[in-house]
């Protein structure tokens, strides 16, 4: 099962490495959003520093929508999704592999955006351990929920507009938890960052289990 998941994740990541859509389009888009936030909040460096965790995670969620949409668009082309279904690979492995590939892309995005936030918004990191753990757990949560909803809307003519409507309210707890954890890690607000990490991990676990078991039914119809 893990070998198959590894194969699927490898396939998706290789496609991304070769097409460079993520690096050439999604990352610049995310950086643009950060710049727009700075324009919206004026030249007030203090406000930017205070709200940096929230702005960072909103940007990650917006970019994640693109990454998830892309992950399923790739499978739709040339009937790749049908062949994947016919390959006999367990849907749980397909789910795990696709979620892992999206999570890896999100982590790369977070690293690049994190550097952007440090440079542009002038924040300093106080707790690296918390930052890394919260970043990983939030990426896992968004990736598992995103893979579930991505499969649900894949193949629909309205998937680009439907995915944000379905996914964003669902990942609201990730936004809250990750923002609070990062506030603690950046030292901009007194939040119990490690407690929030529990929420993020719980979210990822629930969606991981739910997604893995309902994925077979969703794949058949896509």
Write out the residues near other proteins by the rule CB under 8 A: 148, 152, 156, 158, 162, 165-166, 169-170, 172-173, 176-177, 180, 195-196, 199, 202-203, 206-207, 210, 214, 217-218, 221
Q: Report the alpha-carbon distance of residue 218 to residue 46 in Å, rounded.
A: 46
Angle (CA) 114-32-23 rounded to 5° is: 70
Minimum CB distance to other proteins, residue 191 (Å)? 9
Residue 52 C-beta: closest distance to other proteins, Å: 18
Spatial distance between the Cα atoms of 66 and 41, rounded to a whole number of angstroms: 25
Give min distance, CB of 188 to other proteins, in A: 16
Between 47 and 195, whose beta carbon lies closer to other proteins?
195
Element at 123 (helix H, strand E): none
Query: In this complex, which beta carbon is closest to other proteins, that of residue 65 or of residue 148?
Result: 148
| Residue closer to other proteins, measured from CB, 10 or 210 | 210
| 35 vs 185: CA distance, rounded Å | 22
Q: Minimum distance from CB of 23 to other proteins (Å)?
A: 30
Half-sphere exposure at residue 214, Cβ-oriented, CA atoms within 13 angstroms? 14
Tokens representing 165?
Answer: 């409507």
Q: How far is the CB of 179 from other proteins (least distance, A)?
A: 9
Tell me whether residue 26 or residue 185 sits nearer to other proteins (CB atom): 185
Of 93 and 183, nearer to other proteins (C-beta) is 183
Please provide residue 190's backbone torsions phi and psi, each rounded to the nearest 5 degrees.
Answer: -80, 85
Question: Would you say the C-alpha torsion 92, 139, 55, 194 has a positive or negative sign?
Answer: positive
């Amino acid at each position: 099962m893990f070998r198959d998941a590894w194969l699927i994740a490898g396939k998706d990541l290789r496609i991304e490495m070769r097409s460079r859509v993520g690096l050439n389009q999604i990352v610049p888009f995310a950086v643009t959003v950060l710049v727009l936030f700075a324009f919206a909040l004026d030249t007030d460096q203090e406000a930017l520093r205070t709200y940096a965790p929230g702005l960072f995670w909103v940007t990650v969620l917006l970019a994640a929508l693109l990454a998830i949409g892309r992950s399923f668009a790739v499978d739709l082309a040339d009937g790749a999704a049908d062949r994947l279904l016919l390959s006999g690979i367990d849907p749980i492995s397909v789910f795990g592999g696709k979620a892992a590939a999206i999570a890896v892309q999100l982590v790369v995005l977070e690293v690049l955006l994190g550097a952007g936030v440090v440079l542009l918004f002038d924040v300093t990191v106080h707790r690296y351990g918390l930052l890394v753990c919260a970043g990983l757990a939030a990426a896992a949560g968004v990736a598992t929920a995103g893979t579930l909803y991505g499969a649900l809307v894949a193949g629909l003519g309205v998937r680009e507009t439907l995915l944000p409507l379905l996914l964003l309210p669902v990942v609201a707890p990730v936004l809250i938890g990750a923002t609070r954890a990062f506030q603690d890690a950046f030292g901009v607000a007194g939040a119990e960052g490690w407690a929030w990490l529990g929420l993020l991990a719980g979210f990822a676990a629930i969606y991981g289990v739910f997604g893995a078991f309902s994925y077979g039914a969703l794949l058949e119809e896509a």
